[in-house]
């Protein structure tokens, strides 16, 4: 499901809201403060995808992430001029303590062949304290495939937030036994994958970069486990 970049600035915009998963978008024209009401029973990820911001007193730079556990019902933001922040929240089973993950300190792996070369960063991994969330970044080479070979994890939602794509564009596919969908994506567009295979690719200009979040649908199902499409299994 595709959600275009909101046109509103200096406002808190709801990108989507499911019964147990939601995403907010905040973009500032000038330096501005926001007080954002959130669900006390949810865990949250606040990510800065452009500029810098102070989130609940923590200073975050571009691509840094703040994890907030259940128990918080407000997120206090101070966005610098031109900053873009997303807040994802989902109902949590357990409670932990807040922590910051710096993009500059994140472990990464180079994966793929010449047609699918990309660098994958892990910001919130399986060993990090969280109830349902896993998160990171993927930076694909121009014209290469990402989320490849095609795989699925129907026990987890996945949210893709794209950035650094323009002036090019990306293409996000979602398909399974019942449907085939294709979306053209640009900076700050969002795709929610509820089920199915979901490879993506880009025009050979800037390549495709995206922040991704996986959300376990059931308790104790938080893992990076996937099922590869039968045609691409070795």
Q: Tell me the per-residue pLDDT of 192-210, one tens digit each, with 9 for 90 and over.
A: 999 999 999 998 888 999 9
Statement to judge: residues 112 and 219 lie in one domain: yes
In angstroms, rounded to a whole number, what is the distance separating the alpha carbons of residues 212 and 88? 11
Of the candidates 154, 113, 111, 116, which has an alpha carbon nearest to the alpha carbon of residue 136?
111
Which tens digits make up the pLDDT trace of 86-107? 999 999 999 999 999 999 999 9
| Residue in 40, 23, 136, 46 with CA at minimum distance from that of residue 100 | 46
Among 101, 124, 155, identify where a domain stops.
101
Please check whether residues 79 and 136 belong to one and the same domain: no
Confidence of residue 215 (pLDDT cuts 50, 70, 90): very high
pLDDT band at residue 114 using 50, 70 and 90 as cut-offs? confident
Distance CA 38, CA 86 (A): 13
User: What are the tokens at 219?
Assistant: 């308790």
For residue 35, the domain's CATH number is 2.60.120.520
As a whole-number percent, the residues of the chain with pLDDT over 70 amount to: 100
Give the H/E segment covering residue 134: strand 133-140
Confidence of residue 49 (pLDDT cuts 50, 70, 90): very high
Query: Do 93 and 115 sit in the same domain of this protein?
Result: no
174 contacts 196 by C-beta, under 8 angstroms: yes
- Residue 88 is assigned to a structural domain of this protein: yes
Over residues 143-171, mean pLDDT: 94
Question: Would 1 be classed as within a structural domain?
Answer: no
- Which is nearest to 56 in space by CA: 48, 64, 46? 46
120, 86: one domain: no
CB-based burial of residue 230 (10 Å sphere; 0-12 exposed, 13-18 middle, 19+ buried)? Answer: exposed
Q: Is residue 146 part of a domain?
A: yes
> What's the CATH number where 213 sits?
2.60.120.10
Question: Regarding predicted confidence, which is higher, 234 or 167?
Answer: 167
In sequence order, the 6+-apart residues with CB closer than 8 A to the CB of 35 are 74, 75, 76, 77
Cβ-proximal residues to 230 (8 Å cutoff; 6+ apart), any chain: none
Domain count of the chain?
Answer: 2
CA angle 234, 162, 192 (to 5 degrees): 70
Domain membership of residue 204 as a residue range:
107-232
Considering the domain architecture, whether residues 96 and 113 belong to the same structural domain is answered as: no
In a domain? residue 2: no
Q: Give the residue among 64, 63, 131, 73 at the shortest CA–CA distance from 97.
A: 131
Are residues 114 and 176 both part of a single domain? yes
In a domain, residue 152? The reply is yes
- How far apart, in whole angstroms, are the C-alpha atoms of residue 11 and residue 167? 25
């Amino acid at each position: 499901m595709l959600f275009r970049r909101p046109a509103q600035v200096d406002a808190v915009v709801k990108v989507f809201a499911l019964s147990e998963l939601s995403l907010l978008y905040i973009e500032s024209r000038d330096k501005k403060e926001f007080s954002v009401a959130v669900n006390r029973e949810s865990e949250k990820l606040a990510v800065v995808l452009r500029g810098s911001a102070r989130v609940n007193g923590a200073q975050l730079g571009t691509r840094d992430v703040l994890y907030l556990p259940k128990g918080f019902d407000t997120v206090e933001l101070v966005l610098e001029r031109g900053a873009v922040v997303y807040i994802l929240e989902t109902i949590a089973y357990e409670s932990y303590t807040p922590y910051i993950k710096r993009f500059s300190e994140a472990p990464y792996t180079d994966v793929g062949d010449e047609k699918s070369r990309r660098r994958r960063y892990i910001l919130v991994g399986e060993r990090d304290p969280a109830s349902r969330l896993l998160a990171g970044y993927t930076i694909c080479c121009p014209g290469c495939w990402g989320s490849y070979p095609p795989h699925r994890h129907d026990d987890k939602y996945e949210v893709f937030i794209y950035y650094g794509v323009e002036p090019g564009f990306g293409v996000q596919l979602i398909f399974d036994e019942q449907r085939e969908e294709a979306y053209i994506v640009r900076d700050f567009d969002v795709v929610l994958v509820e089920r199915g295979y979901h490879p993506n690719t880009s025009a050979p200009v800037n390549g495709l970069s995206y922040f991704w979040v996986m959300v376990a649908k059931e308790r104790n199902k938080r893992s990076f486990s996937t099922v590869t499409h039968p045609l691409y299994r070795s």
